[in-house]
Amino acid sequence: MEREVDGHTVRGVDVDPETRCAHYDTDRDVVALRFACCDAYYPCFRCHEALVDHDPERLSVAESAPAVLCGSCGATLPPREFVDGDHSCPDCGAAFNPGCAAHYDRYFAFEA
Ligand SMILES: [Zn+2]
Ligand SMILES: [Zn+2]
Ligand SMILES: [Zn+2]
């Protein structure tokens, strides 16, 4: 339920060494996202739902603190860099799942 990935604690269901989980496990599902409520990284919102009994608190996209962890190299990105990026890691070039963009609003608050 909890695993160290490149020095970061990632909580979730069947988390693998590159932050895939029971819900998202393709070769591109290598990001974990920080939830403000827990101040911890989870591979996905369903993992958060499975492990805790509170509603997720989303991070503002304006936040400058790291919010996204690349499971491939361990780099962390602020939300804006991730959301405006091209679905790959700026550090190692690992491809991220572009389908993730459909759920950005589950992780990040976009209101100014
Ligand atoms: Zn939480
Ligand atoms: Zn999951
Ligand atoms: Zn990377």
| Model pLDDT, residue 112 | 61
| pTM of the predicted protein model | 0.95
* Domain segments of the chain as ranges: 2-109
Task: Let me know: does 103 contact 53? Beta carbons within 8 Å.
Answer: no
Report the separation in Å between the CA atom of 81 and the middle of ligand 2, taken as the mean of its atom positions. 22
Report the separation in Å between the CA atom of 19 and the middle of ligand 2, taken as the mean of its atom positions. 9
85-109 residue pLDDT tens: 999 999 999 999 999 899 999 999 9
Task: Let me know: does 37 contact 57? Beta carbons within 8 Å.
Answer: yes
Report the separation in Å between the CA atom of 99 and the middle of ligand 1, taken as the mean of its atom positions. 23
Per-residue pLDDT of the chain (112 residues; tens, 9 = 90+): 999 999 999 999 999 999 999 999 999 999 999 999 999 999 999 999 999 999 999 999 999 999 999 999 999 999 999 999 999 999 999 999 999 899 999 999 997 6
CA distance 51 to 70: 21
Report the separation in Å between the CA atom of 43 and the middle of ligand 2, taken as the mean of its atom positions. 5
Beta strands, E only, the chain:
2-5, 8-11, 31-35, 40-42, 59-60, 68-70, 76-77, 108-109
Report the separation in Å between the CA atom of 2 and the middle of ligand 3, taken as the mean of its atom positions. 20
Ligand of minimum distance to the alpha carbon of 31 = 3
| Model pLDDT, residue 111 | 76
Report the separation in Å between the CA atom of 94 and the middle of ligand 3, taken as the mean of its atom positions. 5
